[in-house]
Amino acid sequence: MQVNSILERFLIKGAGKHLYRFSNADNKTWLMPAHNMQVAMNLYQPSGRNGKIMKALFPWLHHLLIIRKIIHAESVYCDITDELKRLFCQLFHETEIEFSIFCGTPCIHQKITMQISKGKHILGYCKITDNKEIALLFRNEANILKELGRKGLKEVPICIFCGEMTDGIKLFVQSTAKTQKSQVIHEWTALHENFLDNLYQSTHQFIPFEQSDYYRILTNLQLHIEWLPQEVNGTLLTSTINQILLHYQGQEVDFSAYHADFTPWNMFMEGRKLFVFDWEYAQLTYPPKLDRYHFFTQTAYFEKHWTISQIIEYINSEQGKWIDQKMYSLYLLEVIARFTVREKGNINGKMAESFQIWIALLEYLQK
């Protein structure tokens, strides 16, 4: 996705609000307003120590040139188009709104995210793209949230708009319960356990295995096994998938909803409740509670910086007794399959490192 070309379609440069543009080492870029920056910086979710320090201090020190030079922050002046402003004001029932922008994680599904606020209050979020494939993810998220709402889940957003603007950009707009007092929890707690229990109880159903989303993703990988990185043992993956397909063949299975990116950066705690957002990759018929394995694996790698050996050591420890090795294998197959198909063989950088971990863990669990 050409981020700058999309920004040019809904941002008017040279007038309007004063913002700072800055990037991190992973080539992620943000636009943060000088006014009410403490609220705006809720869109900035760093996992590293330096990023967390910046989030806490930049709203108070941004007027100092030396600070801006240290983080390579550039002053810009811009505003959103009247069409987009009218839409946000209509959706959030406000006469004026403020915004901050995250230009997305560089990947095949990169999209822009805006936080919409007024004064000290966060009103909601908007995802933006001009890519038809990403727009389908927006539609999937809208449908998932509608279904979860119908099932009575309250700790998820409400989609309030999913459509296209006159200039061809596609939007997904959602509500939020987030406030400045909301906390991001980086360790597994009873709140996480209760959320997944509730998700399972609300969405589980017995269906023929061959009609499940999980069956579809495994067979999709079988069709595109050549997209795996060259160093990956395709024979092991094919054999493991065949074992699962044979095991569940013709059976009615108890499957439930799966978030697919259940991580600290896609959730927050507010009022002793855990709220979870970013459901664009979610599916409704997966093995129960695979999300816990995703939370564990992603935080072990991205936040604790564990090696493969350290993860395996944890699996075999007293603390790791909660891990069901069969379910962990089902999760690893899912995440390998999903990202192989998503990236269409273009696996490099951080994604390649993740693949090394997933494959090594699957090989260990299959011994």
Q: Please give the backbone phi and psi of residue 9, each rounded to the nearest 5 degrees, phi first.
A: -85, -20
In angstroms, the CA 126 to CA 316 distance is 42
Measured distance between the N- and C-terminal CA atoms of the chain, rounded to whole angstroms: 41
Q: Where are the domains of the chain?
A: 3-175, 190-365
- Partnered with residue 159 across adjacent β-strands are 174
Percent of the chain with pLDDT over 90: 81
Q: Which residues contact 176 (CB under 8 A, 6 or more apart)?
A: 122, 123, 124, 125, 157, 275, 277
266 in Cβ contact with 276 (< 8 Å): yes
Question: Is pLDDT above 80 for 99?
Answer: yes
Please, what's the largest Cα pairwise distance for the chain?
Answer: 66
Q: Predicted confidence band at 350 (pLDDT cuts at 50, 70, 90)? A: confident
Residue 191: Cβ-neighbour burial (10 angstroms; 0-12, 13-18, 19+)? middle
Can you give the pLDDT at residue 230?
A: 82
Q: Smallest Cα–Cα separation from 120: which of 175, 52, 38?
A: 38
Q: Where are the beta strands (DSSP E) in the chain?
A: 11-23, 29-33, 74-80, 98-102, 112-118, 121-129, 159-164, 170-175, 205-208, 252-258, 267-270, 273-276, 283-286
Report which residue type is found at 305: H
Alpha helices in 34-81 (DSSP H): 37-40, 49-61, 65-70
Residue identified by tokens 């200039």 is 167
Topology given in CATH for the domain delimited by 3-175: Phosphorylase Kinase; domain 1 (3.30.200)
Please write the tens of the pLDDT for every residue from 20-58: 999 988 889 999 999 999 999 999 988 778 888 888 999
Phi, psi of 75 (to 5 degrees): -80, 130
pLDDT digits (tens, 9 = 90+) for 128-181: 999 999 999 999 999 999 999 999 999 999 999 999 998 889 999 999 999 999
Asked: is 190-365 a CATH 3.90.1200 domain? The reply is yes
- Cβ 52 vs Cβ 46: under 8 Å: yes
Q: How many residues does the chain have?
A: 367
* Predicted TM-score of the model (pTM): 0.92
At 262, the amino acid letter reads: F
- Does this chain's domain 3-175 share its CATH topology with 190-365? no
| pLDDT (0 to 100) of residue 3 | 84
What pLDDT is recorded for position 347?
83
The SS3 of residue 183 is: strand
What does the pLDDT read at residue 49?
A: 81
